[in-house]
Amino acid sequence: MVRSGHAVKVILQRELAAYLKSPRGYVVAAALLLLAGVLFYAEALGPSAGERLSADVLARFFYNTSGLIAVAAVALSVRLFTDERQTGSMVLLVTAPVHEHQIVLGKFFGAAVFLTVLALATLYMPLLILVNGRVSWGHVAVGYLGLVLLGSAVLAIGIFASALTRNTLSAAVAGGVLVGTMFLFWPLSFVVDPPLSRVFAGLGLHGRHFNDFQTGVLHLRDVVYYLSVTYFFLLLATKTLQTRRWQ
Amino acid sequence: MIRAFGVQKWFGGKRALGPVSFEIARGETVGFLGLNGAGKTTLLRILAGELRPSGGTLEVGGTDAMREPLAVRKLVGFLPEFPPLYPDMTVRDYLRFAGMVRGMDGATLQGRLEEVEALVGLGPVREELTRTLSQGFRQRVGFAQAIIHEPELLVLDEPAHDLDPAQIVEMRSLLHTLEGRHTILLSSHNLPEISETCDRLFVLDAGEVIASGSETELASHWLDTQQVEVALRAAANDLAPAVQRLRSIEAVRNVTVDERDGNGEGPVLVVECSDDCRAEICRLLVEDGWDMLRLVRSRRKLESIFLGLVHGTERTRRQSHSAA
């Protein structure tokens, strides 16, 4: 048996190297940075930006970037198992003396590190606000924590979708539908009656749980929510891989 | 090394394997023979730890594969039909990853990488991406990842798959190098290949082991006759006395002249015997003054056993269906 941490680290390093060597990693990074920059310019610097409090501009930046991070997380995660199955390399992992949860965690952390680096690459925009306006470092730090937690939850959903099928397109559709549905829970919570509205608001990936992060307020319940979603979908991915040994 | 009892595998409602029971000793080289869909790959995937059996018990190296699958996987190196390569990695990086994911530490791995690359002949391509390699080199890299951690059990599914004749010879020589160091299980469609490499054969059909033993044991159990080919320095028309002489041997059932000049040796006498009578054939022909160029047991023997077994079980199945 391979030590749990060792196996996770080895798989994480391979995944990270794969992002850095493949055009896909750079395409996702370029698209995310370009769109984040365009949106920031339009909302904060452009001719139609108007007068706004710097804290509002920062909150708006985190709101826009959260959507981009979610899309990037789906794009990065849905290929994690489908590519392995298509090339046949999955056999190496499933015949190695490692648990399924070590495989899932290695891939998850590899993607999470890459996504965190992408998120931090947008840091120059909050710094511009920080230099020219009046916002706190705490607001910036909490906003980025929210982006990383949201990104992690979406990565976990994408990894689960990827474990379900050997076709990347099918995994992308499944992952997109799952993430989209969980994003829609928040607006749906306004059009249904209680107690369903409270359930939808509580389950929504965005809205109630991200609003406080974007305004710089840290609530333990929001952190627990994102960690729970991440754990739940990573567990489902692990169980899916285990089930495949019986099929 | 391996003790399997009643191992079976079902995919949904369809039985893919078993129940099969067998034992394989440490250091043996065992071949699995069967038509497509016979259950060879399923059995090898179970033995490699990729699949879990639906029933039965399986011990590898004295460890229960159902209770301690990770301990068993540590003992196994597996080369599937298509080598499990990462196209974005160089050969060296890939082999390092394969070793590390199996728990090898950096210092041990460094020495082992050099050793395996030299053994398998990967030196010239070690810095190349695996996606740029020819099929022969891809198969070698797949082989290297299977032995990098010095497993006790080496499981090879169609190791000569898609290789040209020169590469098949190289693969065979590699297998001979590893004999004794590992217990080797392999499947192949290439019958001469499997008969030359393996100590023992398992013939599978419809998920069941229908025969097992060495090639000679299988022949004595399942074939009425053995076939010997004799090439003499003579024209086909002059071979009648030799044919008569060979027919005088008690074990010989039939002698025919094959006039095809396959090896540039002229016509060949094909002798059907009920027993191994190569020594007697040789003695009589030399006594009579014939120049013997070649005497060999026919390579078609294993093919005959295999086809006889498979067609025999197919006939039995049909009969039981019609009886039902």
User: What's the pLDDT band for A108 if we cut at 50, 70, 90?
Assistant: very high
**Whole-number mean pLDDT of chain B?**
85
Residue whose entry in the numeric block shows the structure tokens 């025999």: B312
Q: Looking at the predicted structure, is the pLDDT value of residue A113 above 90?
A: yes
Q: Average the pLDDT over A146-154 and give the result.
A: 97
Asked if residues B226 and B251 have their Cβ atoms less than 8 Å apart, the reply is no
ipTM of the complex: 0.87
C-alpha A170: how far from chain center: 19
Residues A186-221: pLDDT tens digits? 888 888 888 888 888 888 888 889 999 998 899 999
Residues B206-216: pLDDT tens digits? 888 888 888 77
Q: Give the sign of the dihedral formed by CA A209, CA A215, CA A221, CA A222.
A: positive
User: What's the pLDDT band for B277 if we cut at 50, 70, 90?
Assistant: confident
User: What's the pLDDT band for B311 if we cut at 50, 70, 90?
Assistant: low
Q: Give me the residue from B50, B52, B83 closest to A95, CB to CB.
A: B50
Q: Please report the pLDDT score of residue B159 as a whole number.
A: 87
How many CB atoms sit inside 10 A of residue B194's CB? 22
Question: Does A246 contact B at CB distance below 8 Å?
Answer: yes
Spans of all domains in chain B? 2-215, 221-301
Q: Give me the residue from B51, B71, B145 closest to A92, CB to CB.
A: B145
The values of phi and psi at residue A232, to 5°, are -60, -45
Tokens of B87: 């196209």
Give the integer Cα–Cα distance in Å for B80 and A87. Answer: 12
B252-258 sheet: strands from edge to edge: B252-258, B268-273, B226-232, B292-297
Please give the torsion angle defined by the CA atoms of residues A196, A202, A206 and A207, in that order, rounded to the nearest 10 degrees.
80
Question: Does B88 contact A at CB distance below 8 Å?
Answer: yes
Q: In a 10 Å sphere around its CB, with 0-12 CB exposed, 13-18 middle and 19+ buried, how is residue B142 labelled? A: buried
Spans of all domains in chain A? 4-244
Q: Give me the residue from B51, B103, B145 closest to A245, CB to CB.
A: B51
Closest-CA distance of chain A to residue B318, Å: 29
Strands B29-33 and B183-187, how do they pair?
A: parallel
Q: Please report the pLDDT score of residue A52 as a whole number.
A: 74
Q: Which residue has the higher pLDDT, A104 or B134?
A: A104
- If one looks up domain B2-215 in CATH, what number appears? 3.40.50.300
The values of phi and psi at residue A15, to 5°, are -65, -45
Tokens of B175: 């297998």
Question: Looking at domain B221-301, which of 1.20.970.10, 3.40.50.2300, 1.10.760.10, 3.30.70.1340 is its CATH number?
Answer: 3.30.70.1340
Contact B78 A93 (CB under 8 A): no
Residues B157-187: pLDDT tens digits? 988 877 788 888 888 888 888 888 899 999 9
Q: Please report the pLDDT score of residue B315 as a whole number.
A: 58
